[in-house]
Amino acid sequence: MSTSATLAMAAKARELKEQGKNIIGLSLGEPDFTIPGFVKEAAIKAIEENYHAYSPVDGYGDLKQAIIKKFKRDNNLEYKPSQIVVSTGAKQSLANLAQVLLNEGDEVLLPTPYWVSYADISKVAGGIPVEIPAGIETDFKITPEALEAAITTKSKMLIYSSPCNPSGSVFSEKELRALADVLVKYPQIIVVSDEIYEHINFTGKHASMAAFPDMYDRTVTVNGVSKAYSMTGWRIGYIGAPEYIARACNKMQGQVTSGANCIAQRATIAALESPPSKIQYMVDAFKERRKLILGLLADIPGFKTNEPEGAFYVFPDISYYFGKTLRGKTILSAEDFAMYLLEEAGVATVTGEAFGDPNCIRISYAASEADIMEAMERIKSVL
């Protein structure tokens, strides 16, 4: 299993900062906003009300009700409490799913670029990641034909995120339906739809695979509060799943971590019960920053970028620089390029190799406008 490249780059940037270097961190996908006041208040209230004990393994009953209402409100999805499992971050939700569903040698279909941890979470559960490449020409979105060509008798699971980390691409309902039309022919494949960036969507329209009646029984919807509510360190994620899968995740989690942090669960109720309009100010800011960073990148030679429709990343193709020597350093890969930007410009990004695309780097724009401007200026000057 390899180390998470996103976390490794963030750790490296932190280490350099501690050594006194002036580093701008655009590696980690982590909103720079503070947690909304009403969420903080719910956590404070929970402490004062003496919440302290182990929670039910799969989450408090009233949190599950809040999740059920959220799924209905935002996604038109109907779940029963027995179909919901709350975990310590969506990362644990994904790890549970891989552990309970994959057997040795099962293939996991990964539309590529994919979020870094999908591959290793699958591998550690005995699965074999199967990349389905989609480049910048198709806005990093796979076609139904490419999906079908990758399916074998061993295919067990498909994992994707929309809005996508790292490309920011968003599947429209029509595009998802076209993928579903392929998947209905292969009932052994479970779809894991990672919707953690649901609210950070500049198209205004979010589509869920489970909302198609013929996919509902085979789709697990993964979500969480890290991104939209800026609650990354509070570690709450959840799934809506077919009941037998939820039961298995509950069992797995009961042996590994028990229920998620009780205070964070209480705070999550407040987050999910509030209308999404309460967090629109963050989405608006991300939209402004997207415009800013795309404008600045357009001014740097050798960066080919799509227009991301959601999340808070740009994923430029920088293969133009391969084989070139800059300040005595020869760039042979996206990894070399990201290291060059870190060492020469003091800007931390993540190599696209970690997301299955060796031509790109990922830049997070979940940073202040001042940092984005300074970082792009520095990158431009060292290139």
**Residue 11 contacts ligand GLU per CB under 6 A:** no
In one-letter notation, the amino acid at residue 344 is E
Interactions with ligand GLU, residue window 114-133 (CB under 6 A):
116-117
From residue 164 to residue 203, the character string flagging contacts with ligand GLU as x (rule: CB under 6 A) and all else as - is -x--------------------------------------
Closer residue to ligand PMP (CB): 232 or 274: 232
Q: Is 6 in the site for ligand GLU (CB under 6 A)?
A: yes
**10 Å Cβ neighbour count for 20?**
7
β-strand pairing of 24-25 with 347-348: parallel
- Per CB under 6 A, the list member of 4, 143, 257, 333 interacting with ligand GLU is 4
Q: For ligand PMP, what does the binding mask look like between residues 230 and 269, x meaning CB under 6 A?
A: --x----x--------------------------------
Comparing CA positions, the residue from 251, 163, 249, 166 lying closest to residue 208 is 163
**Closest CB to ligand PMP among residues 55, 226:** 226
Nearer of residues 29 and 259 to ligand PMP, judged by Cβ: 29
Q: Is 207 left (phi over 0), alpha (psi -120 to 50) or beta?
A: beta
Residue 224 binds to ligand PMP (criterion: CB under 6 A):
yes
Tokens 């559960």 label which residue? 125
Minimum CB distance to ligand GLU, residue 68 (Å): 25
What amino acid occupies position 90? A
Between 161 and 253, name the residue whose CB sits nearer to ligand PMP: 161
Give how many residues touch ligand GLU by CB under 6 A.
Answer: 10
**Least distance (Å) between residue 95 CB and ligand PMP:** 9
Strands 24-25 and 107-112: unpaired
CA atoms within 13 A on the CB side of 263: 14
Instruction: List the one residue from 60, 71, 79, 115 that touches ligand PMP (CB under 6 A).
Output: 115
Binding segment for ligand GLU (CB under 6 A), chosen from 2-10, 34-42, 46-54, 77-85, is 2-10
Nearest to 27 by CA among 339, 254, 359: 339
Shortest-Cβ-distance residue relative to ligand GLU: 29
Please pick, from the candidates 23, 26, 28, 267, the single residue that binds ligand GLU as defined by CB under 6 A. Answer: 28
Contact characters 192-211, ligand PMP, x per CB under 6 A: --x-x---------------
Q: Does 95 bind ligand GLU (CB under 6 A)?
A: no
Structural contact between residues 236 and 196, judged by C-beta atoms closer than 8 angstroms? no
Which residues have C-beta within 8 Å of that of residue 174, sequence separation ≥ 6? none
154 vs 50: CA distance, rounded Å: 49
Q: Does residue 99 bind ligand GLU (CB under 6 A)? A: no
End-to-end CA distance of the chain: 33
CB closer to ligand GLU out of 11 and 146: 11
CB of 87 to ligand PMP, least distance (A): 8
- Rounded Cα–Cα distance for residues 286 and 185 (Å): 39
User: Which of these segments, 15-23, 85-93, 120-128, 333-341, binds ligand PMP (CB under 6 A)?
Assistant: 85-93
**DSSP per-residue letters across 221-290:** EEEESTTTT--GGG--EEEE--HHHHHHHHHHHHHHT-SPPHHHHHHHHHHHHS-GGGGHHHHHHHHHHH
| Distance from C-alpha of 157 to C-alpha of 285, rounded to nearest angstrom | 35
Interface size with ligand PMP, residues (CB under 6 A): 13
Sheet holding 350-351, edge to edge: 313-314, 361-364, 350-351
Site residues, ligand PMP (CB under 6 A): 29, 89-91, 115, 161, 165, 194, 196, 224, 226, 232, 237
Site residues, ligand GLU (CB under 6 A): 4, 6-7, 28-30, 91, 116-117, 165
